[in-house]
Structure 1
Amino acid sequence: MGNYDKLLEPIAIGGVSLRNRFVMLPMTIEKVDNYHVSDDLVDFYEQRAKGGVALVEIGSCYVSDCFGTTPKYHTTTGACGAWSDEFIPGFKRIADSCHEHGAKVAAQLQLCYEWRASGDEPLLSCAPSVDVMSGPFVGMPEHELTVDEIKIIVSQYGQAARRCKEAGIDIIEIHAGIGYMVMRFLSKYSNHRTDEYGGDERGRAKFLTDIIDEIHRTCGKGMPIIVRISADDLMPDGNRIEDTLKIIPIVEEHGVDAWSVQAGFHEAPRPVANALVPEGEFIGLAKSVKTVTDLPVFPGTRITGLEMCKKVIEEGYGDLVGMGRSFIADPEIPNKVAAGTPEKVRACIVCSRCLDNIFIGKPCQCSVNANVMHSGLGLPENHPANQIKHLVIVGAGPAGLEAARVASLRGHRVTIVDHSDRIGGLLNMAQVLNDKVENYVTYWQAEFDSLKNVTVMLKTEATLELLKSLNPDEVFVAPGGSVIDLDFPGRKSKYVVSSQDIKDMVAGKVPEGKGLLWRAAVKAIKAQGGTVGFMRMGLNMAAGPTAVIGKRLLVVGGGFAGLETAAAMCSNREVTVIDTAKKLGNGIGIIDKNPELRKLKKLGVRLLPLTELVEVSNKGIVTLRNVETGEVEELEVDTVLLSLGVQANTDFFNNIKEWFPEAKLLGDATTPSGKVYRTLEAIEGGFIQAMAI
């Protein structure tokens, strides 16, 4: 771990002093009650303030009346209303709770795609120009804004800012990015007006500068203003960084105090925030912005880890650093950095499960922090157990680990039993296939080094007799799901490999039935120390004395597991993916599914839905059949990899139920037929059950 002292240095935005460089970016996390601030939302922001964040930004404070409407853009329903004085007490609750812990608060004023002048009028999709498709789910704009209507919107922004100021909010942020209304005026792609609000940079910026002027009028010059802007909107014939560098000085003539820099429209032809985007992909945009302004600048798109945060500050990409999902995953990042324990940061795995929900108007969820979707249960450290118990957990995968963590923090004594030589379960294989998981495994290792009252029994087979001897008060069984297999002619062929074989190899075991090649691979892994990088390199070897996966690879399974495997192994290989389903990507959410499929196609992976494996010959010829047409195809391969995910695994649980009738089954061992359970479901199950004992 590096030295992160620079991240802890104070800075100011306007007249507002911030204790460090960490900004919790505004996100619409869908924790409101009919646009009113809820207890859940206050708790969410207070946790981040208590965790050491310098500036907490409230996402989507909506300026236009949405009461009694059904917005086409689902995320709007999760906005905090700012169009009426009745919302002031809610904002004050957030401000007061965050101030109590030393954080400052910004309110991000927002208008997405739909607007109305008052609650007496219909909510319509509006735009500067109606000849360009609006945002996701909205379709073509229903109405082109008139100059008089623009002036009404400007006034709405000013009154919303006034309300925030009266509530004790420290800073106002104007959302002028990601293709929302202000950005649609700024962009050449979406603004084709010929009046004073269109044309050149000054005309396209006039809507924004009018809003700034109005906020100064309603709040006074002392209220700092941040502008969040997409410095490159990534749209055809849209704004590039060169356009933004012309816009910034124009905007600064009207008095702003900082720039938050992002990229893209939501409907941009390339992803901007999911795991397909390299970390730090857009920080160079912020560095470019710094060439035309002396104000504080911070990048805030696809930044996840502390090393990237450090790079932003130390190498001059920004003066602060903005993260959203990482603070959802771990509210205490700044405090852990200040305490000198950065290895204990619970890493965001960039799985987009939070965005999957938010984007369709459902409450935020998190794969690694179950408190986000179950805040009503509280935090374990705040809810000590009424009666101290001895909890025995079978399985050291994510469900078992989370249950142990929560139970230990509540004061229970915990014993974990696992047959492997390390904790982590399937996470150990996942981190080889997906480098975004690696820091999360590191977190668990650090967490268990510091937990009290936890005994970990590795290389130990759980038996009924062992459980009896441990004399537990409670038993949780989290053995992991049962790997789904197939039965077909040639299943025992040397060409066929299962995901269980890969899992065993990563764990340092020679898979059952495998010969010298696999023994050599396992021996090499052990000799090298079993590092993730070495194993990742080994799986990418398509030839050589320890290459267990050949050059011509057929992946059987087009769900989450199969596509992740194909993505991890397609370098220097000819890869085909088959699945009997009509659509590939079962278990992948709305944010990642289509981008992932497009990426695989671009990489040359052949994707065959509605296709089943019929046979594998002893010469490596596979027979495939289309399940609808019956058409048959033969394909010559070096490896057939069965990657169908996992299913329910209840054998051991059923065996002990007679002796331990109150035992609980956790994790992907509970996977229903046809469903895909991932880290989120495992962590959620462990959290809920451990909070209940």
Structure 2
Amino acid sequence: MAKYQKLLEPFSIGNVELRNRFVMLPMTIEKVDNYHVTDDLIDFYEQRAKGGVSLIEIGSAYVCDCFDTEPKYHTTTGACGIWDDQFIPGLQRVAEVCHKHGTKVAVQLQLCYEWRASGDDPLLSYAPSKDVQSGPFVGMPEREYTKEEIAIVVKQYGEAAKRAKDAGIDIIEIHAGIGYMVMRFLSKYSNHRTDEYGGSPENRARLLTEIIDEVHKTCGDDMPILIRISADDLMPGGNRIEDTKELVPIIEAHGVDAWSVQAGFHEAPRPVANQIVPEGEFIDLAKEVKSVTNKPVFPGTRINSLDMCEKVVTQGYGDAVGMARQFIADPETAGKVAAGHPEQVRPCIVCSRCLDNIFIGKPCQCSVNANVWQGAEVGLPQDKPAEQKKHIVVIGAGPGGLETSRVAALRGHKVTLIDKADRVGGLLNMAQVLNANMEPFVTWWGNEIKLHPNVDLRLKTEVTAADIKALNPDEVVVAPGGGVIQIDVPGIDGKNVVKSEDIKAMVAGHVPEGKGLIWKAAVAAIKAQGGTVGFMRFGLNMSTGPTAIVGKRVVIVGGGFAGLECAESMCEGREITVIEEAKKLGNGIGIIDKNPTINLVKSKGVKLMPLTKLVEVTKKGARVQNVETGEETFIECDTVLTSLGVEQNTDLYDKIVKEFPNAKLIGDATTPEGKVYRTLEATKGGYEAGMAF
């Protein structure tokens, strides 16, 4: 059997047949208007349906009235409403547009942490037990459910399910995971009740089973029901997989057609979705659930690669595979596999920038797919051919320049893409050495840019304004990448100092200016190995031998995104200290990843010193100073590594704009002072430039 073919086989949930094993999991992507479906949301789902996914789950759909309220949990405001008949037409539009392309639709019925019986009541934080802190941003519950209120909740779910059915939705999903309301009843961590809704597994499952019974009552037994559950909630004293295996048959006896298995609570001490979590970390939970049910089961936590998807369906971990972020990154993932071109699938880099926005109530964004942020208003390049075909010269083949070229070429423009390096990717080439999650994206770009006949790629080429003028372009885009933030202290040019621009040069196959035999040997070894990322990663981490460019004891200057990434990737076998002038570390890291990243480097023995600046480098180490007290400390080390991030870089643009006044400067080169630009900002700038001509 050809690779990935098992993923293309159909399967069924209840009486609904699905064309392949790819399921797009529910995400609240904040593309609604006062809880109503928008054209932007329709466009988002239609792209994924056209892209070949078998099932799209609308997440979330709130079952209680939230009009004219201010939920403490920000994500609630970006959910679809389903508590009133006025929401049926919008949901019907989603169903119709997905059905047109052969995709089935589930709607995820949801209560997060807040509830009210009607629009006349205040929206308050509720829980099964008032003595347990609730989810993010919510604090302690304001109310503990009475049995009379639970009955109202059950009725709300039943009425919501009927509206979904009336809208043409194929499957009802009940969210009973990640620490939201239904899961808080299921979990021993959060449910301390002593009545019939607490205590035994049957009692803790009672809210869910009553909801299931009510859905069957309002929708009939032929409406398939899918349960999304955290098989291990990862909370102290909470549910483990053994508890879930006890709960599944109890719940299933009420009529369940499939199980979507995840892990964790939002407030769990152990991360579940970050890139620091190994891919496939929780697929065993789905296999355990499969041992107590004959219904379809699929895992859906921290999965993004096709190889992991194939492992799930071929090695018995699940009957299908659920992903959300990968389908954000590339709506056509399933279709490209079906067409026999899996290498064309644009990979998710697991950066969590999508979740960073969603968790604070802002529209979803994506580091590799700018259209998610730009939405229907800007549109897709293939749907908006250029009215006037132009010749566009793009300087710089980093993510910004590559995206400009791709988008402009798709719209019919002729593009000349020029870079002085010997490969595309720009700073991504250095990033992939430090972060293996970036490597598939760099590989994808290497393949992708070759697919566009309108793009003339010229590597190993430095240009002047005169060179560009000779090309006779209609438009010029300058995407040189950001300038490396410099630091000026005594000893900073010493042999024991490694600057981020030195690593950038080495990865690009050049010996950094002023560096000697060790660096020449390292670059020669990299070239001898064909410039493979694995060898570069190995060489950068070597602490002995001819390529020992980073010693055993290291002081990293800069505790932002770049510095912490260096610390985490290089700490094995080393003593690493990170100094940062700011009071808090992690500048440039979003809300989802910041604390887990800081905790991770601490757990690996990295010493973190905020409020500390470098004042001198000597042959024996680094002299540092506390910025508040002025107290100085000397840290003995073998290497001082500067990793302060990037800043505005207009040198090349300033020369070019004199000859081409309409030239655009994009990407990291535009980074404002004090801000951190990453792949997302470069990709967005490139997308906007490519769509503007």
> Which of the five TM-score ranges fits, normalised by the shorter chain?
over 0.9
- Determine helix, strand or coil for the equivalent of 1:591: coil
Task: Show CA shifts across 1:650-673 (max 9, x none).
Answer: 011111112100000010000001
Structure 2: which amino acid aligns with 1:351?
C
Following TM superposition, by how much is the alpha carbon of 1:370 offset from its aligned partner in structure 2, in angstroms?
0.5
- Determine helix, strand or coil for the equivalent of 1:155: helix
- Determine helix, strand or coil for the equivalent of 1:582: coil
The residue number in structure 1 matching 2:185 is: 185
The residue number in structure 1 matching 2:51 is: 51
- Determine helix, strand or coil for the equivalent of 2:658: coil
- Determine helix, strand or coil for the equivalent of 1:373: helix
Would you say the 8 A contact 1:127–1:144 is kept in 2? Answer: yes
The residue number in structure 1 matching 2:401 is: 400
Following TM superposition, by how much is the alpha carbon of 1:442 offset from its aligned partner in structure 2, in angstroms?
1.3
The residue number in structure 2 matching 1:223 is: 223
Return the alpha-carbon distance in structure 2 between the equivalents of residues 452 and 201 of structure 1.
61
The residue number in structure 1 matching 2:263 is: 263
Return the alpha-carbon distance in structure 1 between the equivalents of residues 687 and 9 of structure 2.
35
- Determine helix, strand or coil for the equivalent of 1:372: helix
The residue number in structure 2 matching 1:572 is: 573
Task: Show CA shifts across 1:587-631 (max 9, x none).
Answer: 1110000110011111100001110111111x2221110010011
Return the alpha-carbon distance in structure 2 between the equivalents of residues 622 and 184 of structure 1.
51
Would you say the 8 A contact 1:183–1:229 is kept in 2? Answer: yes
The residue number in structure 1 matching 2:152 is: 152
Return the alpha-carbon distance in structure 2 between the equivalents of residues 148 and 119 of structure 1.
17
Task: Show CA shifts across 1:391-442 (max 9, x none).
Answer: 0000000000000000000000000110000011011111110000111111
The 10-residue stretch of structure 1 (394-403 or 560-569) with the greater mean CA deviation from structure 2: 560-569
| Equivalent residues in 2 for 1:185-204, closer than 5 Å | 185-204=185-204
Is 1:417 the equivalent of 2:415? no
The residue number in structure 2 matching 1:613 is: 614
The residue number in structure 2 matching 1:327 is: 327
Structure 2: which amino acid aligns with 1:462?
V
The residue number in structure 2 matching 1:98 is: 98
The residue number in structure 2 matching 1:428 is: 429
Would you say the 8 A contact 2:500–2:642 is kept in 1? Answer: yes
| Equivalent residues in 2 for 1:272-421, closer than 5 Å | 272-375=272-375, 376-421=377-422
The residue number in structure 1 matching 2:474 is: 473
Structure 2: which amino acid aligns with 1:270?
R
Return the alpha-carbon distance in structure 1 between the equivalents of residues 468 and 530 of structure 2.
32
Following TM superposition, by how much is the alpha carbon of 1:569 offset from its aligned partner in structure 2, in angstroms?
0.6
The residue number in structure 2 matching 1:624 is: 624
Structure 2: which amino acid aligns with 1:208?
L
Return the alpha-carbon distance in structure 1 between the equivalents of residues 571 and 61 of structure 2.
44
Return the alpha-carbon distance in structure 2 between the equivalents of residues 415 and 625 of structure 1.
49
The 10-residue stretch of structure 1 (81-90 or 536-545) with the greater mean CA deviation from structure 2: 536-545
Structure 2: which amino acid aligns with 1:566?
A
Return the alpha-carbon distance in structure 2 between the equivalents of residues 522 and 2 of structure 1.
39
Following TM superposition, by how much is the alpha carbon of 1:689 offset from its aligned partner in structure 2, in angstroms?
1.2
Return the alpha-carbon distance in structure 2 between the equivalents of residues 692 and 14 of structure 1.
47
The residue number in structure 1 matching 2:61 is: 61
Would you say the 8 A contact 2:621–2:640 is kept in 1? Answer: no
Would you say the 8 A contact 1:2–1:307 is kept in 2? Answer: no
Task: Show CA shifts across 1:344-367 (max 9, x none).
Answer: 111110100000000011100000
Is 1:74 the equivalent of 2:74? yes
Would you say the 8 A contact 1:62–1:80 is kept in 2? Answer: yes
- Determine helix, strand or coil for the equivalent of 2:221: coil
Return the alpha-carbon distance in structure 2 between the equivalents of residues 492 and 152 of structure 1.
70
The residue number in structure 1 matching 2:588 is: 587
| Equivalent residues in 2 for 1:531-542, closer than 5 Å | 531-542=532-543
Return the alpha-carbon distance in structure 1 between the equivalents of residues 417 and 255 of structure 2.
59
The residue number in structure 1 matching 2:499 is: 498
The residue number in structure 1 matching 2:3 is: 3
Following TM superposition, by how much is the alpha carbon of 1:329 offset from its aligned partner in structure 2, in angstroms?
0.4
Unaligned runs of at least 5 residues, structure 2: none
- Determine helix, strand or coil for the equivalent of 1:96: helix
Aligned length: 692
- Determine helix, strand or coil for the equivalent of 1:501: helix
Return the alpha-carbon distance in structure 1 between the equivalents of residues 454 and 558 of structure 2.
41
Would you say the 8 A contact 2:485–2:645 is kept in 1? Answer: yes
Task: Show CA shifts across 1:109-168 (max 9, x none).
Answer: 000000000000000100000000000000000000011100100000000000000000
Return the alpha-carbon distance in structure 2 between the equivalents of residues 14 and 270 of structure 1.
34
Structure 1: which amino acid aligns with 2:275?
A
Would you say the 8 A contact 2:225–2:258 is kept in 1? Answer: yes
Structure 2: which amino acid aligns with 1:263?
A
Return the alpha-carbon distance in structure 1 between the equivalents of residues 85 and 236 of structure 2.
40
| Equivalent residues in 2 for 1:539-558, closer than 5 Å | 539-558=540-559
Structure 2: which amino acid aligns with 1:535?
M
Would you say the 8 A contact 1:356–1:589 is kept in 2? Answer: yes
Return the alpha-carbon distance in structure 1 between the equivalents of residues 622 and 40 of structure 2.
54
TM-score by length of 1: 0.99
Return the alpha-carbon distance in structure 1 between the equivalents of residues 236 and 40 of structure 2.
40
TM-score by length of 2: 0.99
- Determine helix, strand or coil for the equivalent of 1:625: strand
Which contiguous aligned blocks of 4+ residues in structure 1 show a shift greater than 2 angstroms?
Answer: none
User: What is the root-mean-square deviation of aligned Cα atoms in Å?
Assistant: 0.8
- Determine helix, strand or coil for the equivalent of 1:366: coil
Structure 2: which amino acid aligns with 1:316?
G
Return the alpha-carbon distance in structure 2 between the equivalents of residues 428 and 344 of structure 1.
19
Is 1:19 the equivalent of 2:19? yes
Return the alpha-carbon distance in structure 2 between the equivalents of residues 656 and 237 of structure 1.
63
Structure 2: which amino acid aligns with 1:78?
G
Structure 1: which amino acid aligns with 2:369?
N
- Determine helix, strand or coil for the equivalent of 1:564: helix
- Determine helix, strand or coil for the equivalent of 1:226: strand
Structure 2: which amino acid aligns with 1:565?
C
Would you say the 8 A contact 1:432–1:536 is kept in 2? Answer: yes
Return the alpha-carbon distance in structure 1 between the equivalents of residues 299 and 181 of structure 2.
21
Return the alpha-carbon distance in structure 1 between the equivalents of residues 128 and 153 of structure 2.
12
The residue number in structure 2 matching 1:680 is: 680
Would you say the 8 A contact 1:343–1:442 is kept in 2? Answer: no
Return the alpha-carbon distance in structure 1 between the equivalents of residues 43 and 135 of structure 2.
31
Is 1:649 the equivalent of 2:674? no
- Determine helix, strand or coil for the equivalent of 2:512: coil
Following TM superposition, by how much is the alpha carbon of 1:2 offset from its aligned partner in structure 2, in angstroms?
7.5
Return the alpha-carbon distance in structure 1 between the equivalents of residues 478 and 607 of structure 2.
39
The residue number in structure 2 matching 1:246 is: 246
Return the alpha-carbon distance in structure 2 between the equivalents of residues 620 and 461 of structure 1.
39
The residue number in structure 2 matching 1:530 is: 531
Structure 2: which amino acid aligns with 1:435?
A
- Determine helix, strand or coil for the equivalent of 2:476: strand
Return the alpha-carbon distance in structure 2 between the equivalents of residues 306 and 585 of structure 1.
31
Unaligned runs of at least 5 residues, structure 1: none
Structure 1: which amino acid aligns with 2:670?
T
- Determine helix, strand or coil for the equivalent of 1:608: strand
